[in-house]
């Protein structure tokens, strides 16, 4: 995993703060591969909160906070409310992702 322990802690703490303490957070994509280079930070979230308006607000606030703490880098949040469409990216993120 190409994130430092402090980066992992910041990401987990920030996302749980905004999406709810019972949320599931996974890192997936190229940052999971120790041999890869570069790449954005791809994060999969199954949020505790479920209202669409609350999720949009949480996403915006979490991204602002993450950029403030981690610096300007590309961060993608994939959010699965489990009440909508089951997209293929959800399965890929769950199968290949690492729980934070």
Q: Which domain holds residue 92?
A: 5-99
Q: How many domains does the chain have?
A: 1
pTM of the model: 0.91
Q: Is the pLDDT of residue 1 over 90?
A: no
Domain of residue 25, CATH code: 3.30.460.10
Q: What are the structure tokens assigned to 53, written together?
A: 């308006």
Q: Is the pLDDT of residue 61 over 90?
A: yes
What share of the chain in percent tops pLDDT 90?
A: 76
């Amino acid at each position: 995993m190409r994130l430092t322990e402090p980066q992992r802690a910041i990401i987990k703490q920030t996302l749980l703060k905004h999406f709810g303490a019972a949320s599931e957070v996974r890192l997936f994509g190229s940052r999971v591969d120790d041999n890869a280079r570069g790449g954005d930070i791809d994060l999969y979230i199954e949020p505790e909160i479920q209202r669409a308006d609350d999720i949009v607000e949480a996403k915006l606030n979490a991204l602002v906070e993450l950029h403030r703490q981690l610096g300007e880098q590309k961060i993608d949040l994939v959010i699965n409310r489990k009440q909508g469409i089951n997209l293929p990216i959800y399965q890929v993120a769950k199968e290949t992702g690492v729980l934070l």
